[in-house]
Amino acid sequence: MQEEIRLGRSEKECKEDCDTTARKNSDFNRARCQRDCESLDNSGRSGSCRDCNQFSTGSNSYDRCWESCETGNAQRCKDARTCNDCNTYCARGSERDSCYRDVDRRNRCRRSSEDEFEGAMMSE
């Protein structure tokens, strides 16, 4: 059984990111990328592109992992349907703001994420 990780990114989604990247970049090695997904340690994974730091910096596995993860997140950001999807997959700034506008024209995403941010700051 596949272990789901904190932000919802699984080995299956990692492999889907490899497929997405291979469709966008014909030189991308999809098969090796998918093997890299299988070799990532599931325990304590963050569910983000930082998982790629398990590979040696500058190695082909490291580069493939980062490229596929960032490509996958960019696609998930474009496909986002909820404020939470925007927060999870879109970079802060204009990319996330654009996503918020796409999923909620009433601007509730921004207010709820700012409230959460302020609450986190107050508890420190």
Q: What is the pTM of this model?
A: 0.75
* Domain ranges within the chain, ordered by starting residue: 1-79, 81-124
Of residues 78 and 106, more confidence is placed in 78
Say if CB 95 and CB 73 are below 8 A apart.
no
Q: Which two tokens stand for residue 105?
A: 């024209």
Q: What is d(CA 76, CA 101) in angstroms, rounded to the nearest whole number?
A: 15
Query: In this predicted model, what pLDDT tens digit does every residue of 69-89 receive, in sequence order?
Result: 999 999 999 999 999 999 988
